[in-house]
Structure 1
Amino acid sequence: MDRNTFTGLFLIMLIMVGGFYLIKPSPEEIKKEKERTEAAAAAKNGKKPAATKAAATAAPQTVDSAALKGPFGSAVAGKAQQIVLENSDVKVELSTLGGKVESVELKGYKTFDKKALVLFDGDGNTFGTTVNAAGRNFNTATLYFAPVQASKNNVTLRLSYSPTQYIDYTYTLADKGFKLDLNIKPISMDALIGNNGVLNLNWAASLHKQEKDMTQERQFSTVYYKLLDDNVEHLSVSEDEQKDVTDKKVKWVSFKQHFFSNVLISKTGFEKAKLAVSTDVNSQADVKQMKADLAVAKDASGTYPLEFYFGPNQFERLKDQGYDLQEQVDMGWGPLKYINRFAVLPIFNALNAFNWNYGIIILVLTILLKVVLSPLTYKSYLSMAKMRVLKPEMDEIKAKVGEDNPTLLQQEYLKLYKKAGVNPLGGCLPLLLQMPIVIAFFRFFPSLFELRGESFLWMKDLSTYDAVISWGQTIPVLGNHISLMCLLMTISTLIYTYFNNQLSGATGQMKYIGYITPLIFFGMLNSYPAGLNYYYFLANMLTFGQQYLIRLMVDDKKIHAKIQENKAKPEDPKKKKSGFSARLEEMMRQQQQAQQKKK
């Protein structure tokens, strides 16, 4: 590594460390955040701060008695009641305040710290529609419904405007599954709803942290939506964003987290949608805040049929729900998506049918992949072996031509390659063909729900990092821990690079770059799932084994003899140069002429 490169890397490291201390929060900010986090935790456990309790108790008493005689009468004041619908998979708690779904607990799953998995609850969740009465706009989220019919899996909540005018919310939960039906049926309320019978729904939720790594959970959480008879799209995962969808109907809107989703589906389609996602970066309890303002038309019977999905982002399970909900699972972009969906995922599902430990499944998956790619690995090794055999002759050319004329040096190298019948890119092309698959796994494992909470060896959860060392403060790039599997993967990559350099004869800058790259990836992958780093580690170890076997089959002496035989053959004048070779030679010729003009 030359002095300039070393100086640049040192300055980058200095800026990163300095920036960390410059943006470090003050003691006052830390104190405020601690108080806010404690208040949020208390609210989540059902304990409200004293001030909040007082406000909640006093609120009904401050209602003007005249308001009780106005629009919606007694519905403007009251005390919220909770009604529970429950099946084998989900527990849904409804509130008479707003007639909303107040909280959802998924029974078969736990948070990373083994607590009940509640998707959302409390005041951070709202659901309502706007109606106009007596010249005033009322949002049903602030009004009190009354249960008029209830059974084990069905309940009707009614918001009364008058004895003959009301809105019914009918919730129905099947004996199993993650779907909750909601039918909104207004009776003699068309004049209040207006908009030609189009209902304006306001839905918002603050989604609770479920996973170990808040940063990664936020990277996979945002608002998704499906255009009717069209693609599934989403808002930004990294920034706050708002978007109005008015030119096309929307089939569903999803408040998606990393491994779980809250989806609202319209059977008639939403006429328009105004969507928003935001992040409270100071919060350690909630991942993101999501909001959707939706306009929905009634069906032929005069009702507004809706459907919720509260459940895991497991590809096959989402696919079974219909409506293309599986498109929320991030399988990558472009060709990566198709590799994961139509090649990797089917193989993974086939192996999963054996009920093996997921560590074993990843091992078998890696072996199968290496076997399929073994012809490319062999060609790459063979090409590097040819270049290694040619290196003494290349050194002779370098000594004769000198290093002060790189264009002429490359021209002489090309002549040697041509005579010897060697493709200098032969070792790179097979590796490039493998890169899409390697990158596809980079998207596959972080999105794979099946790894969540699954252990293997010392790794307690293959869907997140396996910290062997942790510390309090966050260091730029590295974070607040060191992942053992990421460390093993990096060490194996450095060893692989060392042996690869011996095979290819790499020297100079290329040699150092080969060692720097794994260290950069260590910083990138340190917080990624242990399952992903485990795969990369296995891939390195299996490559070692492949190269050892190939080395036993490849004889350098035979390669050298073949090269000398090719060099001795007279050049065929009728043989047409490849387009790449012709362009490369022309480019070098022009560079040589330009250098001569400068002289």
Structure 2
Amino acid sequence: MQQNNGLDKSQIISFAVLCLVLFGFMFYFQKDEQKKEALNAGKQKTEQAQNAAKPTQATNINPNVTPNSIQTATLANKELKLEFSSLGGQVSKVELLKYKAYDHKTDKADLPLYLIDKNNSNYGFQFKDKTGKTVNTKDLVFTPVVNGNSVTLTANYNGAAIQFIYTINTTGELKDQYALDFKVKSQGLANVSSDNKADFIWDYNVRNLEKGRAQEQSHSEFSYAFNNYKDYDYDGRSTMDEKDETLNWIGVKQQFFSSVIESKSGFTQSKGNQDAIEEGEYLKKLNFEGFVPMNGSELNQDFTWYFIPLDLPLLKSYDKNFDEILPLGWSFIGWMNRGFFIPMYNFIASWGIAAGWVIFLMTIIVKLILSPIMYKQHKLSAMMKVIRPEIDEANAKFKDADPMKKQQATMEIYRKAGVNQMAGCLPALVQIPIFYALFRFFPNFIDLRGQGFWFAKDLTAYDDLIKLPFKIPFLGDHLSIFAIACTVVILIYTVMTSGNMQQPQQEGMPNMKVIMYIFPITFLFFLNTSASGLSWYYFVSNAINILIILVIKYVILDEKKIHAQIQANKAQPKKEGKFQKRMREMMENAQAQQKAQDQQRKK
């Protein structure tokens, strides 16, 4: 008796009702969340007023310096507000004025966004004086003098003067607004030191600025360019070692922002390490060390600091390979994001619609492009259903025979029917690079940052309206509604497409149907802490897949015609293809070897 592997009318109605329930569930939580926000608005304002930020005292690195004696100077333009400390002559605070950081207390992105604050960045130039004592400029006390858009910090060490001159751009192009010119000058240092190079040491603790801690932590790493800006590399491991390369710039990349220092002479013998921080306001601790030359034992070098959002057009405008900092994927994957998904998003977003609906339309466009491949896949599925009785008959006939003979008989049925099993793999192969490209796109595309849709407040982070009173391993302390909805439709799609999958005929062989059903459940663990934009995309994508199957099954394909076509294919002599010939020869050789081994055992 032929199995009915499709959906009947009651199943179609069930699917439609389930979709309505899911959407109703989404709208309910959105409305409920809006009520909570309205009730807590006054309370939050009161708390923010009571918890106004207090000045943070600097760490007393130098025993001769007290916190009250440390002076600060400030520079600002339209994009950056910078503060400089007299202790070490360092940049002690960096605020990006047009962006906000996520506040875990209010569940909103309403905090000032500081890349550097509270001594999380500490850098200096280290050298030895003629007595062998190690000196680091971060321990010296500088005197700041502000002149317009420039600040000069001067320190003295045993009669030698060291100056750090910082200049910010207040006019010019947007890219210039994120740059800070940094000149280092010395006078009389040759009388104090005989070194021919200084060791630039930079310690940096990455601040937690986004909602998804684990996701942001995984995107925090070293990034650097070398070979005259032509080559780029990154390091998310525990250590980095580039002793043979001269680095043009070294940066600490976060999910959407980066702090970069460029050396005009380059950093040599560079090395670094990084360690994850499990909890608190910091995500990772990174330490970098690289040498810069001291000409005639004087420290005269030009640098540029960049405190930049990872916006692709902005990064490209520098022409310093900064666009590689944005992790959109290597090779073809990166090309798909840069040349297809980002332009498509920008084009649709220019219509003025919400980000969630932009993603919805992107999904439809991708489906339309892939529709010919999808049609072939589902047509193959329908043909497999028609010849299933013959496959079952062959399996029963060769039940007790050599497994190789059973496989040969099955392949012969496919060949006569004109069914190419390998064609079913093509859609899956095409989907893999698309999935990986989108996996890179959604959590790294800064235009989506802070863009809400329904109950998801930020499409680059997870939605967590369903909060759990405990933590579940690999799942966390919440349930994402987008992830749940996506998992449900993937499960429905799996049920619809796994009907033609053969059951294992031999003992010990895995049941592929069971594995296929487990996959959507495991997918929930992955999506629950991923960008909600990715879950929304795949919810829409798989819902469309289900509709395509229904349309193909009930509107486009006629099983009687397919059956007649298969019978006609059987009647015609079939030319054996190269792949089929190779498979047949492999099976025959394997069968011959098996027989030889059996005969050898009998002897």
2:260 is the counterpart of 1:258: no
- For residues 248 and 415 of structure 1, the distance between their equivalents in structure 2, rounded to whole angstroms, comes to 59
**Given that residues 268 and 298 in structure 1 are in contact (C-alpha distance below 8 angstroms), is that contact kept between their aligned partners in structure 2?**
no
1:519 alignment partner in structure 2: 521
The alpha carbon displacement at 1:472 in A equals: 4.3
The alpha carbon displacement at 1:331 in A equals: 1.5
**Given that residues 224 and 254 in structure 1 are in contact (C-alpha distance below 8 angstroms), is that contact kept between their aligned partners in structure 2?**
yes
- For residues 275 and 475 of structure 2, the distance between their equivalents in structure 1, rounded to whole angstroms, comes to 26
2:533 alignment partner in structure 1: 531
Cα RMSD between the aligned structures?
Answer: 2.7
**Given that residues 72 and 85 in structure 2 are in contact (C-alpha distance below 8 angstroms), is that contact kept between their aligned partners in structure 1?**
yes
2:90 alignment partner in structure 1: 100
The alpha carbon displacement at 1:212 in A equals: 1.5
**Given that residues 112 and 453 in structure 1 are in contact (C-alpha distance below 8 angstroms), is that contact kept between their aligned partners in structure 2?**
no
What TM-score do the two structures reach when normalised by structure 2?
Answer: 0.81
Identical columns (%): 33
The alpha carbon displacement at 1:298 in A equals: 6.8
1:545 alignment partner in structure 2: 547
Distance 1:388 1:123, change over 3 A: same
- For residues 260 and 61 of structure 1, the distance between their equivalents in structure 2, rounded to whole angstroms, comes to 33
- For residues 258 and 191 of structure 2, the distance between their equivalents in structure 1, rounded to whole angstroms, comes to 35
**Given that residues 94 and 101 in structure 1 are in contact (C-alpha distance below 8 angstroms), is that contact kept between their aligned partners in structure 2?**
yes
For 1:350, give the aligned amino acid.
F
**Given that residues 97 and 141 in structure 1 are in contact (C-alpha distance below 8 angstroms), is that contact kept between their aligned partners in structure 2?**
yes
1:18 alignment partner in structure 2: none
Match of 1:60 among 64, 78, 84: 64
Aligned pair count?
527
- For residues 514 and 558 of structure 1, the distance between their equivalents in structure 2, rounded to whole angstroms, comes to 30
**CA offset digits 1:201-224 (Å, max 9, x no partner):** 222121211112221111111111
**CA offset digits 1:338-376 (Å, max 9, x no partner):** 322332223223333334321122112111111111111
The alpha carbon displacement at 1:468 in A equals: 2.8
Secondary structure of the 1:489 match is: helix
Distance 1:591 1:86, change over 3 A: same
Match of 1:555 among 558, 573, 576: 558
- For residues 129 and 412 of structure 1, the distance between their equivalents in structure 2, rounded to whole angstroms, comes to 75
For 1:179, give the aligned amino acid.
A
- For residues 592 and 275 of structure 1, the distance between their equivalents in structure 2, rounded to whole angstroms, comes to 57
The alpha carbon displacement at 1:558 in A equals: 0.9
Match of 1:568 among 562, 571, 575: 571
**Given that residues 87 and 174 in structure 1 are in contact (C-alpha distance below 8 angstroms), is that contact kept between their aligned partners in structure 2?**
yes
2:301 alignment partner in structure 1: 304
Show the 5 A alignment for 1:338-417: 338-402=335-399, 405-417=402-414
For 1:556, give the aligned amino acid.
E
Secondary structure of the 1:372 match is: helix
1:295 alignment partner in structure 2: 291
Show the 5 A alignment for 1:172-187: 172-175=167-170, 177-187=177-187
The alpha carbon displacement at 1:313 in A equals: 1.6
**CA offset digits 1:290-316 (Å, max 9, x no partner):** 122222247999841111111212222
For 2:566, give the aligned amino acid.
I
Match of 2:282 among 283, 286, 297: 286
2:162 alignment partner in structure 1: 167
Secondary structure of the 1:361 match is: helix
Instruction: Spell out structure 1 runs of 4+ moving beyond 6 A.
Output: 298-302
Secondary structure of the 2:387 match is: helix
2:48 alignment partner in structure 1: none
The alpha carbon displacement at 1:548 in A equals: 2.9
**Given that residues 153 and 172 in structure 1 are in contact (C-alpha distance below 8 angstroms), is that contact kept between their aligned partners in structure 2?**
yes
- For residues 522 and 245 of structure 1, the distance between their equivalents in structure 2, rounded to whole angstroms, comes to 39
**Given that residues 128 and 195 in structure 2 are in contact (C-alpha distance below 8 angstroms), is that contact kept between their aligned partners in structure 1?**
no
**Given that residues 377 and 430 in structure 1 are in contact (C-alpha distance below 8 angstroms), is that contact kept between their aligned partners in structure 2?**
yes
The alpha carbon displacement at 1:80 in A equals: 1.1
Moved more, 360-369 or 93-102: 360-369
- For residues 405 and 328 of structure 1, the distance between their equivalents in structure 2, rounded to whole angstroms, comes to 56
Moved more, 508-517 or 520-529: 508-517
- For residues 505 and 138 of structure 1, the distance between their equivalents in structure 2, rounded to whole angstroms, comes to 71
- For residues 232 and 329 of structure 2, the distance between their equivalents in structure 1, rounded to whole angstroms, comes to 14
For 1:292, give the aligned amino acid.
F
- For residues 180 and 56 of structure 2, the distance between their equivalents in structure 1, rounded to whole angstroms, comes to 28
- For residues 556 and 201 of structure 2, the distance between their equivalents in structure 1, rounded to whole angstroms, comes to 68
- For residues 322 and 147 of structure 1, the distance between their equivalents in structure 2, rounded to whole angstroms, comes to 33
1:331 alignment partner in structure 2: 328
Secondary structure of the 1:373 match is: helix
For 1:125, give the aligned amino acid.
S
Secondary structure of the 1:199 match is: strand
Secondary structure of the 2:538 match is: helix
For 1:263, give the aligned amino acid.
V
Which structure is higher in RCO with an 8 Å CA cutoff and minimum separation 6?
Answer: 2
1:235 alignment partner in structure 2: 235
Match of 1:462 among 441, 459, 462: 459
Distance 1:274 1:432, change over 3 A: closer
- For residues 543 and 341 of structure 1, the distance between their equivalents in structure 2, rounded to whole angstroms, comes to 26
**Given that residues 264 and 309 in structure 1 are in contact (C-alpha distance below 8 angstroms), is that contact kept between their aligned partners in structure 2?**
yes
- For residues 200 and 261 of structure 2, the distance between their equivalents in structure 1, rounded to whole angstroms, comes to 11
1:29 alignment partner in structure 2: none
**Given that residues 388 and 505 in structure 1 are in contact (C-alpha distance below 8 angstroms), is that contact kept between their aligned partners in structure 2?**
no
Q: Which consecutive unaligned segments of at least 5 residues does structure 1 have?
A: 1-41, 63-76
1:38 alignment partner in structure 2: none
**Given that residues 193 and 199 in structure 1 are in contact (C-alpha distance below 8 angstroms), is that contact kept between their aligned partners in structure 2?**
no
